[in-house]
Chains A and B, each alone.
Chain A
Amino acid sequence: MSDRLTTSKVGLSLAIAAVLVLAACGSSTQGAKPKTYTGTLTFASFNPFTGPDASFGPEMAAGCIPAANTINQAGGVLGHQVQCIAVDTRGDPADAVPAAQKMIASTENLVGMNGPSSDEALATVPIIDRAHLPMFADSGQAAFDKSTYKYFYRLTPPDDAAGVAMAIYAYNKGYRRGAAVFGNDLSSQGNVPNLLTAFAKLGGQIVINQTLTLDQSSYRTEVTALVAASPDVIFTEADPQTDAAYLSQLQQLHGLIPVIGTQPTVQPPWIKAVGGAVGRDALSKNFAAAQPFSTSQGPAWDVYNKALLAAGSEVPQPDQWSQDPYTETDYDAIIIMALAMLEAKTPDPSFYNALIPAVVGNATGATEVHSFKEGMDAIAAGKKINYVGAGGPIAFDEYQNSTGAFELIGYSTNGSNPQLAVVSAEDIAKLRR
């Protein structure tokens, strides 16, 4: 009995050891050979293309497509042409999880991706990370501020930083009584906690905090409660139809008051919906929105914008994305992954992933490059590179986040978005929880 017990214990120990060794081998690339690729490499735009946040997907694809075109024009990556595919998450984790699994299992030569968005990031980032697929998320969730996922990168600020930027701008404009009017979706609610805290810390007061059920036919009762609280400014993010209904009903019952939105409120669908509902004149007089600050100028932006405008057959109305910081960073993400592949001499994500920070690292002696072509030539010449993107300089922290300042922009009836103010990263950091 004792012998049998000892034998089975030894057997069990050996089995555990074998499993651990196999697991260790599986998680390491040391000694392993990169996968061989034939044919076109694929980057996915993993975002909502339908559903309440359907505007996110086209915004992301508008970054991927010109990036792929510039890479292909330069000869491709290690002899491979590249392409972008759209993977629709519908903005819902229940749809996004099977979409992620299907994308990973069935997409040939999938080597990297943009996304996920805040709508589906919590559910899908672990799946994508386990598949060893580098992802440049446009999720603003604070949960990823200290991400330990090896394949997770973020070039845009977290949602809660936008809330702080909105609070600072409002306070500087003299508003002291704020109304928080946000949709009940994950993406919108991500802004709220820091907005409330920051506005209070500055000396303002949130007189009403409303969580809107999306896409209702009427918000008049909510609007009546808002008017009764007498705010002098509204902070908002909700899907276009919700904000259009809410603000048009506010206009009917009381008249508009100043509105400060987040980045989704400067996207064309939101502007079209709300501008159509309240009138473009009224919108231009009452509206500002916080979005990640990008200079939208400089050599990398010039390359991006030229490629974007040339992609008119693939990107509807490409000029609408020319100054969109999310599209700019989605473009940068593809270029960064392609340059990391060159550094690693393989498109195999398990190998090139570790070199992603290196291509944007401002190491001593690194050559500053502004396009895939410049980076490719520098790498071929044996130089270290520092890619400065269309969205500006990139510097990953230890959690692979690269964030910066915010700008507040307005809306003009001619369709442009004049800059109203810039809120520095330092000012935001002081007020973030």
Chain B
Amino acid sequence: MQQLIPAFGFGLITASILAIAAVGFTLQFSVTNILNLAYGDIMTACAFAAYLANHAGVNIWISLVVGALFGAVFSMLLNRLVYFGFVRRGTRLFGMIIVTIAVSLIIQNLLLAIFRPTFFTYEASQGPSYQLGSMVFTASQLAIMGIAVVAMVCVHLLLTQTQLGKAMRATATNPGLARSCGIPTDQVIDAAWLVSGALCGIAGVALVLNTATFSETTGAAFLVPIIASAVLGGIGQPYGAMLGALTIGIAGETAAALMSPAYKDVVAFVILIVVLLVRPQGILSEIAAAKEVAA
């Protein structure tokens, strides 16, 4: 029981990474209606981009920016060059899911072919440890949590205070109507992919900073908790994704403290199923809709 508070703290770190990733995932879904199952692999590709920068002598935090930029450009190009063609032909949600799975496998195997089946580590120190009550955080973990908070605030400001955010919300709600009102939906969709890709890149590098090593499958292994967070919060709802990430991250760690680590995922996903049984639309969908946050 005395491990509960430290576990809560550790859950916050996991939740921070999950939140960055899940908000990017759900933001893009809400605007484009594409459930991008290649998201985890794009995270890995971003982690590799940051790795190349880092091993070229670049500081890890600047490498994180490199990862974010790579993710933004890569995601937008992926949509433009691959997904958009299918959308234009009227491919439905299920068909698009299959396409994204194919893209996921292509990215994973390309990374495997380029980087070979081994493990990679950033040249980065975790920094000193800080005790906050019973919780212990390293400097890099505090930085990850700080980045998550900043990213969430930025997403909030983007959605509520900018023309682009309003255009995104309009496109998410009714793309046809948005287009007839003069909103350039294609550019809005590009912007959604850029923002989502940047968050994906930040999440990929933060994930690797947390796990210490990574390989071509690291991001894909993290995809299920990301989707779970997004679904739990109400798919398409950025604020819901934040809450979902907190729930999944903290539930897993506290379950590991109270029970066996073997039940970590079990408990987190049991909570997901129970919540969805009670609220199939997810935790925040009504609140988000009332505040006109997203779809």
Contact = CB atoms under 8 A, between A and B. Distances in A.
B262 A220 contact: no
Contact of B212 (A55, A244, A269): A244
Nearest to B17: A217
A366 interface: no
A253 interface: yes
Interface in A226-273: 228, 240-241, 244-245, 248-249, 252-253, 268-269, 272-273
Nearest to B109: A50
Nearest to B134: A224
Given A211-B260, A244-B213, A221 B221 contact: no
A253 B131 CA distance: 10
A218 B218 contact: no
B79 to A, nearest CB: 27
Given A184-B262, A217-B210, A252-B138, A241 B218 contact: yes
Nearest to A249: B212
Contacts of A268: 118
A252 B129 contact: yes
B176 interface: no
Contacts of B3: 221, 224-225, 228
B212 A276 contact: yes
B112 interface: yes
Contacts of A225: 3, 256-257, 261
Contact of A210 (B112, B257, B261): B261
A213 B212 contact: no
B250 to A, nearest CB: 10
A220 B261 contact: no
Contact of B257 (A51, A224, A245, A272): A224
Nearest to A211: B262
A357 interface: no
B144 to A, nearest CB: 11
A335 B260 CA distance: 46
A66 interface: no
B91 interface: no
Contacts of A278: 212
Contacts of B215: 54, 240-241
Interface in A191-227: 210-222, 224-225
A49 interface: yes
A60 to B, nearest CB: 13
Nearest to B117: A54
A149 B121 CA distance: 43
Contacts of B214: 241
Query: For the side of the interface on B, what is the size category?
Result: 35 or more
A217 B118 contact: no
A221 B261 contact: yes
Contacts of A49: 117
Interface string B244-279: 000000001110110011101100000000000000
A225 B260 CA distance: 10
A410 B212 CA distance: 22
B221 A215 contact: yes
A91 to B, nearest CB: 11
Given A220-B10, A245-B211, A277-B212, A269 B119 contact: yes
A221 B112 contact: no
A217 B261 CA distance: 13
Contacts of A211: 260-262
B126 A252 contact: yes
B222 interface: yes
Interface string B1-36: 011001100110110010000000000000000000
Nearest to A55: B117
Contact of B256 (A58, A221, A244, A245): A221
B6 A220 contact: yes
B136 interface: yes
Contacts of A52: 217
Given A221-B10, A252-B126, A241 B262 contact: no
Interface string A337-380: 00000000000000000000000000000000000000000000
A268 B17 CA distance: 29
A312 interface: no
Contact of B13 (A50, A215, A218, A274): A218
Interface string A3-34: 00000000000000000000000000000000
Contact of B7 (A224, A240, A276): A224
A316 interface: yes
Contact of B117 (A50, A210, A220, A274): A50
B261 A253 contact: no
Contacts of B117: 49-50, 54-55, 58, 269
B179 interface: no
Nearest to A273: B119
B121 A277 contact: yes
A220 B252 CA distance: 11
Interface string A51-67: 11011001000000000
Interface string A40-52: 0000000001111
Interface of B: 2-3, 6-7, 10-11, 13-14, 17, 112, 116-121, 126, 129, 136, 138, 207, 210-215, 217-218, 221-222, 252-254, 256-257, 260-262, 264-265
14 contacts: A50-B217, A219-B261, A220-B6, A221-B257, A221-B261, A224-B6, A225-B3, A241-B119, A253-B129, A253-B136, A269-B118, A272-B118, A273-B212, A276-B213
Given A217-B17, A221-B7, A224-B10, 15 more contacts: A50-B112, A211-B262, A213-B264, A214-B221, A217-B14, A220-B253, A241-B213, A244-B119, A245-B211, A245-B213, A252-B126, A268-B118, A272-B119, A273-B121, A277-B213
Interface of A: 49-52, 54-55, 58, 184, 210-222, 224-225, 228, 240-241, 244-245, 248-249, 252-253, 268-269, 272-274, 276-278, 316
